[in-house]
Structure 1
């Protein structure tokens, strides 16, 4: 028997969203894991109460790229001005952001005074063994450190930190649990800088003696099943828009492209960024004077943000510069928090959809070098609201 993740329609007796928000009419889906034979799993696929069923797939960090030069010893992180957060009258006050990553060093000065709720899904305990999650959190809502600004939305006071990647990586079951947790905790924005490990899934089976074609076919089946489950979960998120309970989900597009080798060596955005309703984010270099898309950045993103030589928090109280679409993703999450604050003050309905629309409408396309097009930068460079 194999291990399966099952997403079921909620029992009518469960009024989780109603209890949480006081609104009528929506029940949360239920996520469960069971050990089943392939025949039993196939039978469940025909159950009208089952939205999706799949075996879990390995997940991994979208590994950062080391900075090309030593970080400047003074000045703010360059992405702050690029997304015009320095011109925005908004700070993200009242917005709750969830970051699903490697955890956080909550003792870092960048997070002083914040209400941070941690949840470990890996079994390894709270904290950040890697630094990746701390860096992403610093870009979203980090306070100034030694007079240097690193955070886009410094007015955020509540954060949810889901540790879904551990020392031994993770899997989609853990990620889906993290998404459900963020939903239950009423996150407004969810940021994920991680990816599904399709090559690793193939390699694991080959190492067990499977023929390459059979290993690839099985991995593709699992990948497809996880895509369907993630799409179903995102549809359930979207269904809550009428109650203003839907979170906006943002994910890094991936770092697998090699544009410097060949201009056509571009890999499309991977899961979870490629799922329906997820805002995928590509990485841009610093302008000189126009922006380039980073050599590693995957194609067909929704938006683009600064993602090379990004300065942010690092475990131990220091600052560190790294790059990747992992670093671009939290820029978009931070800007989304600024738009969320603005639209919430205007009592805009269906906030998640409204924020996504404003991110699209105000993104800039005219700031990229002519060698790039919308398949490289999507709707454009994410831009903060600079007006009240």
Structure 2
């Protein structure tokens, strides 16, 4: 047999290196061991080259979300808690019993730290209470109309769903596991609560005092909930890191509502009370001058309120140029003030307080118009911040004196005394 040292490398048997035998590494082998080749597998090597970009996009999307408590609970509670009380009163004992039992089960599950069970328990309680409400309220017989009964049932179901959405925002684990769902629920509440709450509040008021001035009740509640929800608010769950940009101006992405919801809120504020009045008083809307004034008041009072709300950013979805917004407020506000003053004179002043006016016509119309229009113009100028220099202050003071004197003459204050007071001032 040929000795191993005389054999070629291909025929040599494998001899394992022992501890006693020294081992030498060549520069090539050391370099190859220090730097792995492309065919070698490394556990730290990312097999997916696109995962870097996906992880970067995921982190950037999550950086815009910050888990925190819902900051608008008071605002939503003022709208939904009275609605829930009205629905419980309307549903009666079956709804109260069903809801109480379901919420007790949800509370027990929550005390046992079974968070998902408590969440589904709340929703199951609301669904069971809604089913009990459908069988116990008899809305169709109450309204004596199938379309109105179905519409009222849909309104009650929508309000119940909004209460469930509000309750869902109180679970912190939903914020952590499903941030997009939390943002959608917050936007849903601010988009839908004004419609449902104003309708439920009007329904309750009509049940108490009657249908005569129902459109005005709806107009008032629309204005209240428009101020509470439609004015742009910063989201509770979006990151506030962008506030340092744009000179401290909040970016549009951090607002809860989008321009689409702002447009719908404006349309609801301007036209829903008017349409409701036409639908409920269609037979007498043109029967007298007072009825025509009702139509004008139901449009121009919300319109004037909309213009005042624009000083708080309500028309941010129209334009962000301050000069354009100021022009819109001044021009449209002047037209709205004139129409409202004339309609209030016909509808309220001369209709209900005519016996207190001591001046014979036509001077009484002139002085009442001067008093009301001058007072409204001064109040509007103050609200818009137009009294800011010496000239505007002098003009406002003169207007206040003239308006006060005209009002004193209207109610029978001596004319000579009014002139002396005016000259003294």
Pair in the same fold by TM > 0.5: no
Task: Please state which structure has a larger fraction of its residues in helix.
Answer: 2
Give the structure-1-normalised TM-score.
0.24
Q: Which protein has the bigger strand share?
A: 1
